[in-house]
Structure 1
Amino acid sequence: MNRHKTMLLSSVALMLAVTACSNSSQKEVMKEATKEGTTTPKPAAASGKASDVPLTVKILKGSSSINLQAPLFDYIFEKTNVRIQLELVTTNFEQKAQTIIATNSLPDIMEVAYGKQMYVDGAKNGLFLPISDYISDAPNLAKIMKENKEIAKNNIDGKIYSFPKLGAWKLQLAQGAMIRYDLLEELGLEAPKTFDDLYKVLKKFKEAYPNSIPYTGRENAFNLLKPLAFAMGSGNRIYYDPNIEGGKYVYGQAHPEFKPVLEFTSKLFKEKLLDPDYAVNTSDAMKEKLASGRSLFYYDNNSFGVNFNEALKPKNPKARFELLPLMKNDRGQTRGWMYKKDWMHNIVISSKTKNPHELVRFLDWFYGEEGTRATAYGVEGVNYKMENGKPVILDSIIKKYAQTKDPFRNMQTDLATGFEQLALNVDEHPMIETSAPELVKWKDMITTEKGYVYEVVSPPFTNDELSRLKTLQSKVDTLVDQEMDKFIIGVRPVSDFDKFSQQLIDSGALEIEKIYNEANQRYQKQ
């Protein structure tokens, strides 16, 4: 396939920060979002397009690959009169974005990941165009905002400064417990219903396959603990717990409920049931172990299992990963995280642009029916057809990618469609047509009725709260990051946890909880 054309590459280091929102009331936010704003309105383009004259816009985006020759680019130009000149940053995009914002050298449009301090800084320092002032040029976004109030959590001082990446329709995925089900059958084992059952199953796997790594993970303790801690009745760092007082923010490691999580993981590590390299595995390294049959269980994105199953089939036609039903924890709960409906990544326009109305209309087009469909399916007659009023991917397109390692994502890369490419209002219906049937089966298991909980967007904070959180979390989160691996690998005994938990409290963990809960209570009352 012909990808990677005319790409511009950059590489720099990752920077994390605190989620940023405004201290304005929800009513003020929605009022601001739906009124015309303070800028003098400019008549809509006479052509009905975003611009009456052809424009070329520079867009900076983090992505590993997009086919820059995809027909979708010409289609977008045909419909909007705006030509996209795309600059792709394949590594360390967040640091690249940070540098651009710090030096006020924005292109026309750029992507800023959700929850980053640089988004707040850019908005407050006047680097981003205030979309609220041009909301009359964005009827599609305004309509969605009326229906989806969560979007307003991302506003700064009551104003919209970005076009957020939303989910029009999602094939629901989760950080699920995925296990080699064929080995359960082979060894005559029942699917684990509790975490003690899981321990026993992993132990049986290791006995039957001594060279295996029963449980693997990727990158660090944070990724290992986020889904596992919540499922076991606690949570990692600050998180929203729907089972405490009707819903409350809690700093997981500051409470005794977290201790069983460390007891469990440290026991797995000690008995060689947990990958010794879990903390340093790259995503690719983890996937290789699972796809090759070396590892037999993971607690991560369930959709990965489809690719692992395809990779395992040539050597063992019976091999298959399956999503386990949620396991009951020691508190009698069955619960797990499912990915939030909206990604909320920010697409911002430079305040220096000479064409603010045109660029706002351009980005708003992506939220309309025409733009949503095009960025999901591509170009009608080239990539899909309409049947009974619904888009259907052409057979030739299905066949082209059917034998690739990851049909859905390879198709999206070539067509420049979907979440990773150009979509802002992401429709994942094409995933059903191009993915293995088990993914659809797993989707039906990932529901609130089964115990899954949507990840929650943080509430809007005041400026003082943001400043205080930045100070507190730099201390508390750093302590957690420094010590979690030590507990898991046995360098620090789990018996020290109570002392460690008190250290977190002394460093401000409970104050972090207080700030989050007060901000959330304000938001809920509005």
Structure 2
Amino acid sequence: MISKKGVLTVCSVLVLTSVLGCSSPSSEGGEAKSDKPLVLTWMRYENPTQPFSASAEIIPEILKRKNVQLQIQAIPQNSYDDKKKTLIATNKIPDVILVKQDDISSFSDSGVFLDLTPYLDQLPNFKQLLQEYPEIGKNQIDGKWYGFPLAQNFAASQSGQVPMIRVDLLKKWNLPTPTTYDELYLVLKKLKEAYPEAFPFASRAANGLTGTENLINPIAFAFGSGYTNATGAKVYFDPVLKQYKFGPAMPEFKEAIAYLHKLYKEKLLDPDYATSTSQVWQEKLSSGKSFYYQDNTGLGANFNATLRKKDPEARFDMLPMLAAGKGVKRVLLYRLDHLQESYVVNARVKEPEKVLRFIDWLYSEEGMRLTSWGIEGQHYSHENGKYQISESFVSRFKDKADPAGAMKSTLGTGYNGLALLADDQPNLAAQAKEMQEWTEKNNQFLSNGYAFRMAYDPSFTKDEREKLKQLRTQLDAYLTQNMDKFIMIDGLLDEEWDSFIKQCKDKGAEEIEHIFNTALARVK
């Protein structure tokens, strides 16, 4: 059954109907059919596991119901961040574009994004969402709203940056299941001996983070420190200390880099980690060129499906919680929602009221059902208050490497499709068995205090935003130029680390840390 969270009340439906008006015959809750369609250019990144195109089955249904013609611009995820920032900086964004909260914070003062605040009374479903998800309040900029965040109505899985390894190879070579990072190192060495051409540990650039950032983040956190937040700012929120820290200044961070250097030196770490895209990374792990990763748990199910076509015994599985130095045991899990990813509207868009009413409809019960389940009678049924994805529809994707991703790709549904309020229940019907097992294990890690969900950042004042732009520009550039050297070059950690940290502080590391903690204190 669909959760009550995010679902429209009867009152909201009546308000929405009165706002839209019904001056002429229209589709269910939609604009008048006699009107010309509202044409919207709509840009977002394309997840490698869920291609997104204009042929998605719910797009013509949206035209039918809402008289809105979506022109989808799906950009490959590995190049999306650069494309997005170029369009924002040159004020050439499409009508609607998916951004991170960091983009809103950086560019809200430029006037490129439409200020939603004057329109709130016309957006009953969005207002309802704000009441049900108080944490969205962190997304305000000087008390104003600029973005429509992606929210979660029901989560079918819990994934995170958890150690994943080819357990069939452990069995084949009679290797013990590692319980510490030192033991993992020994296992990776044995796998390298067995497969000299392979690089056991693979990593990638993803989600707007560089390959270096995405490699360091889970390892540094596991060792008791951290590197970046979700937007790439070089501070991380420590859930034990309850504050933001500049991780590289901590001794635990240096230990993590020393560990990665050892893996790199002995060719246990993929030497292309800094530039490897998601597609290349997935190919290595699903073809037997690499055997370990510490990234999205759920993608292991896709690798398993591909590997099993050649070897029925091949299988990635989660490792027990690995202990680092000083007995630290912890991992980062993803949030169940995506509140710091939002759609923003071009400030120069024509007919902004119509555009905003359509986006508001995507948060409604009808909008949520369509963008999460598809079309009733074709893709799912609704009987006695219960929703059920069609078995005959799901069966079309049973032979795909990622059945759930292929199903949502065909429909255009879910977070990687058009959903703003996502109900993930349809995923359960197509979800691989191991995904459900890993969700249970991740939730158990949360219960045991070993796992922490990634934090959302607070909002900043105008002065803080300006200062962060200045400081981040110089610090980010310095770290990007230098961090890989400590992983790749022998002896550099002992020779240059202290002066490196001093340079980081001179370029604003401690000021950034202070700004983040000052902003955090305002919302505690």
- TM-score w.r.t. structure 2 length? 0.85
Aligned twin of 1:29: none
Aligned twin of 2:143: 158
Aligned twin of 1:480: 479
Aligned twin of 1:49: 29
How far the C-alpha of 1:353 sits from its partner, in A, is 4.1
Calculate the aligned-residue CA RMSD, in Å.
2.3
Structure-2 separation of matches of 1:144 and 1:309: 37
Structure-2 separation of matches of 1:85 and 1:283: 25
Distance verdict in 2 for CA 1:368–1:325, change over 3 Å: farther
**Superimposed CA distance per residue, residues 442-466 of structure 1 (whole angstroms, 9 cap, x where no aligned partner):** 0111122142211111111111111
Aligned twin of 2:513: 513
How far the C-alpha of 1:249 sits from its partner, in A, is 0.3
User: Is 1:115 matched with 2:101?
Assistant: yes
CA contact 2:301–2:432 (8 Å) conserved in 1: yes
Percent of counterpart pairs with the same letter? 38
Paired residue for 1:192, among 156, 178, 181?
A: 178
Structure-1 separation of matches of 2:41 and 2:130: 24
Kindly report which structure 2 residues correspond to 1:308-327, keeping only aligned pairs within 5 A, or say none.
308-327=303-322
| Letter in structure 2 aligned against 1:233 | G
Aligned twin of 1:392: 388
How far the C-alpha of 1:333 sits from its partner, in A, is 2.7
CA contact 2:99–2:344 (8 Å) conserved in 1: no
How far the C-alpha of 1:113 sits from its partner, in A, is 1.4
Structure-1 separation of matches of 2:93 and 2:512: 33
How far the C-alpha of 1:430 sits from its partner, in A, is 2.1
| Letter in structure 1 aligned against 2:499 | K
415-424 vs 348-357, which moves further: 348-357
* Structure 2 unaligned spans of 5+: 1-17, 206-210, 228-233
| Letter in structure 1 aligned against 2:315 | R
Structure-2 separation of matches of 1:211 and 1:350: 50
How far the C-alpha of 1:96 sits from its partner, in A, is 4.3
Aligned twin of 2:208: none
Distance verdict in 2 for CA 1:508–1:127, change over 3 Å: closer
Paired residue for 1:179, among 158, 162, 165?
A: 165
User: Is 1:167 matched with 2:152?
Assistant: yes
Kindly report which structure 2 residues correspond to 1:11-410, keeping only aligned pairs within 5 A, or say none.
43-46=19-22, 49-52=29-32, 54=35, 55-64=37-46, 65-90=51-76, 92-107=79-94, 109-117=95-103, 119-120=104-105, 123-170=108-155, 171-219=157-205, 220-236=211-227, 237-244=234-241, 247-343=242-338, 344-410=340-406
Structure-1 separation of matches of 2:173 and 2:313: 13
368-377 vs 88-97, which moves further: 88-97
Structure-2 separation of matches of 1:460 and 1:88: 29
163-172 vs 456-465, which moves further: 163-172
217-226 vs 83-92, which moves further: 83-92
SS at structure 1 position matched to 2:327: coil
**Superimposed CA distance per residue, residues 271-300 of structure 1 (whole angstroms, 9 cap, x where no aligned partner):** 221122222322222222211112111111
| Letter in structure 1 aligned against 2:488 | I
| Letter in structure 2 aligned against 1:56 | L
| Letter in structure 2 aligned against 1:153 | K
Aligned twin of 2:11: none
SS at structure 2 position matched to 1:445: helix
CA contact 2:56–2:409 (8 Å) conserved in 1: no
389-398 vs 266-275, which moves further: 389-398
Structure-1 separation of matches of 2:174 and 2:376: 50
Aligned twin of 1:20: none
475-484 vs 348-357, which moves further: 348-357
SS at structure 2 position matched to 1:375: helix
**Superimposed CA distance per residue, residues 415-443 of structure 1 (whole angstroms, 9 cap, x where no aligned partner):** 11111211111222222211210001101
SS at structure 2 position matched to 1:83: strand
How far the C-alpha of 1:376 sits from its partner, in A, is 1.1
Aligned twin of 2:447: 449
**Superimposed CA distance per residue, residues 147-204 of structure 1 (whole angstroms, 9 cap, x where no aligned partner):** 2122122222211112112222222111111101112222333322111121122122
| Letter in structure 1 aligned against 2:148 | F
* Structure 1 unaligned spans of 5+: 1-41
Structure-2 separation of matches of 1:503 and 1:188: 47
51-60 vs 87-96, which moves further: 87-96
CA contact 1:50–1:361 (8 Å) conserved in 2: no
**Superimposed CA distance per residue, residues 389-415 of structure 1 (whole angstroms, 9 cap, x where no aligned partner):** 332222222121111222222221211
How far the C-alpha of 1:100 sits from its partner, in A, is 4.2
| Letter in structure 2 aligned against 1:472 | L
Structure-2 separation of matches of 1:466 and 1:386: 47
Distance verdict in 2 for CA 1:501–1:126, change over 3 Å: closer
How far the C-alpha of 1:491 sits from its partner, in A, is 4.9
**Superimposed CA distance per residue, residues 179-231 of structure 1 (whole angstroms, 9 cap, x where no aligned partner):** 01112222333322111121122122223333332211124221110111101
Structure-1 separation of matches of 2:212 and 2:84: 26
Aligned twin of 2:499: 499
CA contact 1:255–1:501 (8 Å) conserved in 2: no
SS at structure 2 position matched to 1:49: coil
Aligned twin of 2:13: none
User: Is 1:430 matched with 2:426?
Assistant: yes
| Letter in structure 2 aligned against 1:332 | G
